[in-house]
Amino acid sequence: MITGRFFAPGADRRIAITIFVLLAAAIIVPLLNLAVSPASAFYIPPYMVALTGKYLCYALLALSLDLVWGYCGILSLGHGAFFALGGYAMGMYLMRQIGSRGVYGNPVLPDFMVFLNYKELPWFWHGFDHFWFAALMVLAVPGLLAFVFGWFAFRSRVTGVYLSIITQAMTYALLLAFFRNDMGFGGNNGLTDFKDILGFNVQADATRSALFAASAVTLALAVFVTWAIVGSKYGKLLMAVRDAESRTRFLGWRAENVKLFAFTVSAVMAGIAGALYVPQVGIINPGEFEPSNSIEVVIWAAVGGRGTIVGPIIGALLVNAGKSWFTGVLPELWLFALGGLFVAVTLLLPKGIVGMWDSWRGNAGTPRAVPLADKAHTGAGLVSATSKPARSPARNPGEWSWSDPEPQAAE
């Protein structure tokens, strides 16, 4: 195996390769699309560019989840919300760019506002006619929501499954809110029919290629940032919180601040992914807040291998390519395949593809990529086996706790 040599030397090398491949793709794919004649075997049709561009956005979303789940043990079931908020911020900018080319020709109000009898632009739509403002909002809105949400949740020490469930409640509440037409975000239809981005036609091949390149470069940058974070002293703290939150706290670290930082950075990354996604697919609608979407993101990360940086990217690309293929060729079987994948990965590949590859190659020793205690799989308040005996006697029958210190072995 030629590729084997590349995976062998460990994580740092792998990161470099990933970044390199992404940057190469950012140059080569647009070239093959624009410069090569359609007759050539190397020609990549615009359809393929848009599709892979979309996958890269999903990969970025999966990577952002990996930062909090894989490295910090926070299983967020609401990352789709940050993704969608970033998407909405970008969508609002694109809506404003339509100007008087909407069907009603109103220079200020988007079409859906015209036929719902809005007289003027709602206050929160102001400023979105400037790209810089929208770009700022893409970062600020998901970041701020994550900061506020995390500040409350982590300070109250909401952990494990409770946190997962309330993140799900958050995205569900946002889903319902954005479905409301009174909110001024276009209700169920969402925002569509975009024309221009920064003055370029969103449907032009060149724009598509540029968006693809932007997605690839952003993903590469995100890989680098994530790698830098987890490689730093702060990254060690993250993993310490993941593996033994209380011990970290007893050592004098503020676990909630550590988590809050990771959660916020991750939300901003998800927001950027959403912002890149919207101009490529041409629609943003409340369906993106659907809790099932967020759960699907979790499976991408799990398939590829969480806590590996590269894994979630591979997972997102593979699952989505599979989805595109199945829904075209065997539509009836798609849900069986996806469901089977969920079950198979959790049972057979608990560490994901990349994790399995590592164990198979026998070099799972890179400390930052693999949980300290092998059994502390999820970080749901589980601690390593050594602290077990101290607590068991204190429990009465019938009492049960999520922070059960005892990783119950499979029987």
Partner 1 sequence: MKIFHAMGLTLLLILATLSSSGAAEADLRAIIAKFATVTDFSQTGAVVQELAATSDRAVERPLAALADGNLYIRMADSMVFIGKEGDENVQLFDPLSGEAAGEASPDDLTQIGVNNTLRRTIRDALGTLTLGSKDPTVRIAAADTMFKTPDAANIQPLDVAIAGETVASVKALLEQARAASILVSDQPYADKLAAIAVIGARGDRNAVSLLTFVEANASGDVKEAATAAIASINSTLAIWDAGQNIWYGISLGSVLLLAAIGLAITFGVMGVINMAHGEMVMLGAYTTFVVQQVIRTSFPGLFDWSLIIALPLAFLVAAFVGLVIERGIIRFLYGRPLETLLATWGVSLILQQAVRSIFGPTNQEVGNPSWMSGSFAIGQLAITWNRLWILVFALTVFAVLLYLMKRTSWGLRMRAVTANRRMAASMGIRTPWVDALTFALGSGIAGIAGVALSQIDNVSPNLGRGYIIDSFMVVVFGGVGNLWGTLVGAFSLGIVNKFLEPYAGAVLGKIVVLVLIILFIQKRPRGLFALKGRAVEA
Partner 2 sequence: MRGNFSTITKMVSASVVAAGLMMSAPARAADDTIKVGILHSLSGTMAISETTLKDAMLMLIDEQNAKGGLLGKKLEAVVVDPASNWPLFAEKARELISKDHVAAVFGCWTSVSRKSVLPVFSELDNILFYPVQYEGEESERNVFYTGAAPNQQAIPAVDYLMSKDGGSVKRWVLEGTDYVYPRTTNKILEAYLKSKGVPAEDIMVNYTPFGFSDWQTEVSAIKKFGSAGKKTAVVSTVNGDANVPFYKELGNQGIKAEDIPVMAFSVGEEELAGLDTKPLVGHLAAWNYFESVNTPENKKFIADWHKFIKNNKRTTNDPMEAHYIGFNMWVKAVEKAGTTDPDKVIDAMIGVSVPNLTGGYATMMPNHHITKPVLIGEIQANGQFQTVSKTPGLVMGDEWSDYLPDSKDLISDWRAPLSCGNFNVKTGKCGGKGTN
State in Å, rounded, how far the first CA of the chain is from the last one. 37
CB of 15 to partner 1, least distance (A): 26
- Identified binder of partner 1 from the candidate list 251, 339, 361, 366, rule CB under 8 A: 339
CB of 391 to partner 1, least distance (A): 6
Q: Confirm or reject binding of residue 329 to partner 1 (CB under 8 A).
A: no
Return the closest-CA partner of residue 175 out of 197, 191, 190: 190
Q: Confirm or reject binding of residue 356 to partner 1 (CB under 8 A).
A: no
Chain residues binding partner 2 by CB under 8 A are: 2-3, 5-6, 16-17, 20-21, 24-25, 28, 32, 41-48, 50-51, 54, 100-107, 111-112, 114-117, 176, 179-181, 187-190, 192-194, 203, 281-283, 285, 287, 324, 327-328, 331-332, 334-335
Which two structure tokens, joined as six digits, stand for 96?
């404003």
Q: Confirm or reject binding of residue 75 to partner 1 (CB under 8 A).
A: yes
Residues 238-257 that bind partner 1 (CB under 8 A): 245-246
Q: Confirm or reject binding of residue 122 to partner 1 (CB under 8 A).
A: no
Q: What is the CA radius of gyration of the chain?
A: 22
Q: Per CB under 8 A, which region of 88-96, 127-135, 202-210, 400-408 contacts partner 1?
A: 400-408
Q: Confirm or reject binding of residue 410 to partner 1 (CB under 8 A).
A: yes
Q: Confirm or reject binding of residue 406 to partner 1 (CB under 8 A).
A: yes
* Residue 17 binds: one of partner 1, partner 2, none (C-beta under 5 to 8 A by kind): partner 2
- Identified binder of partner 1 from the candidate list 31, 34, 48, 341, rule CB under 8 A: 341
Which two structure tokens, joined as six digits, stand for 337?
């395949």
- Identified binder of partner 1 from the candidate list 108, 283, 338, 373, rule CB under 8 A: 338
Q: Confirm or reject binding of residue 326 to partner 1 (CB under 8 A).
A: no
Q: Confirm or reject binding of residue 214 to partner 1 (CB under 8 A).
A: no
* Residue 189 binds: one of partner 2, partner 1, none (C-beta under 5 to 8 A by kind): partner 2
CB of 71 to partner 2, least distance (A): 26
Residues 367-396 that bind partner 1 (CB under 8 A): 375, 377-378, 380-383, 387, 390-392, 394-396
Cβ proximity to partner 2: between 52 and 248 the closer is 52
CB of 400 to partner 1, least distance (A): 4
